[in-house]
Amino acid sequence: MEGGRVGEVLGVWRLDRLIGSGGMGDVYHAQRIDGVVEQSAAVKILRALRDRASPDEATLLRLLIHTNIARHLADGWTADGHRYLVLEYVDGLPITAYADQNGLSVHERLELFLEVCGAVEYAHHHLLVHMDLKPSNILVDRCGSVKVIDFGISRRVEAQPMTLPCDPFSGPYSSPEQIQPGSKLGYPTDIYSLGAILYELLSGHEPFNPSVSVAELERQIIEQNPSRPSHVIGQPKLKAGSDGKYFRLDPEAIASMRGNCRVSEARRLLAGDLDCVCLFALRKEAVRRYQSVEDLQFDLQRILAGRSPAIARSGDAVHSVLRAARRKPVAPLAVITALVVTIAGLLTFNVFSTGIQVSLENKRHSDQAMEATLLEMKEQLWPQLGSDPSWGSSRAAVEAVMKTSTPAPLLTLSEQFRVVFSFSAPKVDNGSK
């Protein structure tokens, strides 16, 4: 029964109040009572009875020692056979609520989100997928420090992607492969959830409406693409208050929580690059998203530096080439070399082809000039040929030459001049001397 364990002592911890309850178990605030040190903790008691075949959250948490992950302090078994874990107590708010209450600007929200990415990347380096990332599992304490909590359904990634043995549902932060039975899960599953958290952190809206039925929400996650964050930030939102009642949040109020922006300014800050990054992380197909948290961090750091995201803007093909180049740099080098040789060959062929065209064009102009010259000579010599009957045979030869439309290919330049000038040379009569 919820809260029924208040006052119970587990090891050196006494449970003093219930602070949370979920599908996996109940979470109590506890105080250390051995007198060694004053310390508070969160004690999570699982509902399932002893089952040593199931993955042990305590075993997984022992691997994770990171500033932004709630520390594992102890674990054990209750007298009635339930597993309990003693975890670092985080007195904080969900990351989205913290950012809104403190009026963080878009720039500050990105810096805070990068701390989350660092924690998730650390878990992935230890082959651990969280699989339940959502704002309520990412707390920010009063000092502004991020803590990722609740690795209750996390799994280790072995050689092959895994299927999920249980049926968790994190609402609009669940990836399509977590909803579709038999889908393979892996690091992109967490990356989708990170994209959904970033989407809400920036726009004030979840990527899909959480107020619809579970069946409809699942359908939207599988079939529909979310709108751009820069578009939805201009829409009102129904938000649940601390008393469980909903109230309407106007677009102006949502924008003012982001560094006291106006709606138009908030849209301008989100439009383009941040839209692109969010939607890239939220792609339906796992293979088309960011393939590592490091890639997501890389793009966000570029945006913070005033540059465009390299991976989300590059498209799938270029992204694949860049990733392949990092893994096997020799193969891309061979491809680049082949491309350079091919381009150089085409340029060389183009140069020679251009030279041949120029030569042919020059020859054509030369032939046209020669034809004009021959016609001019014909006009000058024809009266002389006509007055001398002894040159009749020569005149016929000249007419044959002049009638051709392309004299240059038939006779060389010197031959054509020799034919013309031989007719105009004066005759010498040796017998008259």
Q: For residue 227, what is the DSSP state? A: P
Please identify which of the residues 26, 75, 100, 132 carries the catalytic annotation: 132
**Rounded Cα gap, residues 283 and 319, in angstroms:** 15
Structure tokens at 108: 């500050």
Q: For residue 143, what is the DSSP state? A: T
Q: Note the Cα 101 to chain centre separation in Å.
A: 31
Sign of dihedral through CA atoms 224, 227, 287, 191?
negative
394, 352 contact by CB (below 8 A): no
132 is catalytic: yes
**Rounded Cα gap, residues 266 and 392, in angstroms:** 99
CA torsion 158-159-165-169 (nearest 10°) is 80
**Rounded Cα gap, residues 308 and 61, in angstroms:** 36
Structure tokens at 286: 């796992």
223, 256 contact by CB (below 8 A): no
**Rounded Cα gap, residues 41 and 72, in angstroms:** 10
Structure tokens at 387: 């007055």
Residue 29, helix vs strand vs coil: strand
Residue among 131, 146, 142 nearest 189 (CA): 131
**Rounded Cα gap, residues 371 and 377, in angstroms:** 10
Hey, which residues are catalytic here? 132
